[in-house]
């Protein structure tokens, strides 16, 4: 006998329409928490953060159809940008935080990114140094308007944390400039989008060659998130522990977007995988679902046995 499936209520909607509905229906419920820093928001509060970031993007000159690259670990701004870009119709380009200079250059060049958001460090990697290797001419830039021969579409670079170089803007500065943007502009852009508009670029692993850019639409992503959540029988009472990286579809679609579809809470143990912090997150916030790959589960079991 074939198993019956619920009709996807997300079909025909944009990511922002789904997110806003969840933010209204579950306004006071926990939406997200980062265990390592204590940063947390309800759905209504997260919606406010997304709105501020969407205004900031417009203030930077980012609009519908523009490509926005995010080169960062699992930090709050990643999630905020994921939904803020979707709100105004900008295409989110997910860049692997483990990228070296030549890999970053490849992603920026192939994606036609207009803006790059990045953190200062990832483990032993100095992101500013790697970025200067990929685009040496920005080191002599006199302002935050970027001109790179290798990346002719790249105009703005935004630092999410750390000491600010002269050629970059800061996340907080972007939010401040965004306060001058009227909310009506955001609403008009959001209402102009359709479910079949492209909204995300994911790079393949490049195991047998150079990574390929997969262009994904609102519908593409939402239907995936809906059916994954349905198979798990997720509800707004669930809490998903997410130690997997946001840059991969496992993190940003099967976790973050799935939570937005069902109103489940997102529990992020740390910026990058840490078995002990994952176990602490499960225990402290009473996670009902745990994401991961076999190596992660093995590490968690070994940590539990210590």
Helix then strand then coil, % of the chain, to nearest 5? 45, 15, 40
What average pLDDT does the segment 244-265 reach?
97
Q: What is the pLDDT of residues 90-135, one digit of tens each?
A: 999 999 999 999 999 999 999 999 999 999 988 888 999 999 999 9
pTM for the predicted model, two decimal places: 0.95
Which fold does the domain 15-305 belong to in CATH? Rossmann fold (3.40.50)
pLDDT-derived band at 6 (thresholds 50, 70, 90) equals low
Give me the pLDDT at residue 1, please. 39
**Which DSSP state fits 276?**
H
Domain ranges of the chain: 15-305
Q: What is the DSSP string of 93-134?
A: EEE-TT--HHHHHHHHHHHT-SEEEE-SEETTEEHHHHHHHH
Looking at the chain, how many residues does it have? Answer: 306
- The answer on pLDDT for 225 being more than 70 is yes
Mean pLDDT computed over every residue of the chain: 94
Q: Give the C-alpha separation, 143 to 283, whole Å.
A: 47
């Amino acid at each position: 006998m074939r198993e019956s499936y619920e009709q996807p209520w997300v079909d025909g909607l944009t990511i922002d329409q789904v997110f806003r509905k969840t933010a209204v229906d579950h306004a006071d419920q926990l939406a997200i928490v980062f265990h390592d820093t204590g940063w947390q928001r309800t759905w209504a509060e997260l919606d406010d953060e997304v709105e501020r970031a969407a205004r900031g993007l417009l203030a930077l000159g980012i609009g519908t159809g523009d490509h926005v690259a995010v080169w960062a670990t699992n930090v709050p701004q990643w999630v905020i940008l994921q939904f803020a870009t979707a709100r105004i119709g900008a295409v989110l380009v997910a860049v692997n935080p483990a990228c070296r200079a030549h890999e970053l250059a490849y992603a920026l060049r192939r994606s036609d990114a207009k803006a790059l958001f990045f953190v200062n460090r990832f483990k032993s990697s100095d992101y500013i140094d790697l970025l200067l290797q990929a685009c040496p001419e920005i080191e002599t830039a006199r302002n935050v308007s970027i001109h790179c021969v290798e990346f002719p579409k790249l105009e703005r670079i935004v630092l999410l944390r750390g000491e600010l170089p002269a050629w970059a803007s800061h996340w907080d500065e972007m939010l401040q400039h965004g306060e001058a943007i009227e909310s009506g502009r955001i609403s008009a852009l959001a209402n102009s989008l359709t479910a079949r508009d492209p909204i995300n670029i994911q790079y393949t692993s490049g195991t047998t060659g150079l990574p390929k850019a997969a262009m994904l639409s609102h519908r593409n992503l939402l239907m995936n998130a809906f059916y994954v959540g349905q198979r798990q029988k997720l509800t707004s009472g669930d809490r998903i522990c997410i130690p997997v990286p946001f840059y991969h579809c496992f993190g940003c679609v099967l976790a973050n977007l799935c939570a937005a579809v069902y109103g489940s809470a997102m529990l992020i143990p740390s910026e990058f995988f840490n078995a002990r912090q994952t176990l602490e997150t499960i225990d402290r916030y009473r996670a009902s679902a745990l994401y991961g790959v076999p190596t992660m589960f093995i590490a968690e079991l070994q940590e539990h046995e210590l």
